[in-house]
Amino acid sequence: MNFINQKLTDFKVNAYQQGETHPVTLQDVLGKWSVFFFYPADFSFVCPTELGDLQDHYAEFKQANAEVYSVSEDTEFVHKAWAEATDTIGKVQYPMLADPAGKLARFFGVLDEEAGQAFRGVFIVDPEGQVKSYTINDMGIGRDAGEILRTLQAAQFVEKHGDKVCPAHWHPGDDTITPSLDLVGKI
């Protein structure tokens, strides 16, 4: 299934965030950019490196008017225990969504039903709730928060400047391309 421009479904899940739990709904994510970052499981091996990397870039995501939501099939109580047991996760400031029923993972097509875990999916969602970018990796392939941030910034640029596109390795401030027949075969 292609998720580009798919609208988020209505949902309500619990989140663990900095020592507290609270619900997160579709209404909470609308109005700003969102990054849904699925990972297989708490208390695992690759996952804390990724969540730590996201935390290291969290201020840049916030500056880009985006919220990061890490998501696993663990409960908010397991997220809390992981944060209390692990220095890396204890530093995480963004909401850690609990999806034990698999509602979000099924919607985004990342649930490995047999394992009861989510594949490593990243979904960048615009303020209207439409998916603008996504990648899905197998369980053992970690992601880079800097590349996720760059992709978010490119999606924001393209939304704002619909007549321009972002080439490979584009970063804010770099040259963009205005599509034109004059460029065909010249790039």
Is residue 6 included in any domain, yes or no?
no
How high is the pLDDT of residue 140? 94
Asked whether residue 155 is assigned to any structural domain, the reply reads: no
Which domain CATH number covers 27?
3.40.30.10
Q: Please indicate, yes or no, if residue 178 is contained in any of the structural domains.
A: no
127 in any annotated domain: yes
How many structural domains does the chain have? 1
Cα 5 to the chain's mean position, in Å?
Answer: 15
Which ranges of the chain have pLDDT less than 70? Answer: 186
The answer to whether position 139 is within a domain reads yes
Residue 170 resides in a domain: no
* Neighbour count for residue 33 (Cβ, 10 Å): 21
The pLDDT of residue 177: 85
Per the structure, the complete domain to which residue 20 belongs is given by: 12-143
pLDDT (0 to 100) of residue 144 = 98
Q: Which sequence positions are flagged as catalytic?
A: 47
pTM for this predicted structure:
0.95
DSSP string, 25-86: EHHHHTTSEEEEEE-S-SS-SHHHHHHHHHHHTHHHHHHTTEEEEEEESS-HHHHHHHHHH-
Q: Quote the pLDDT of residue 95.
A: 98
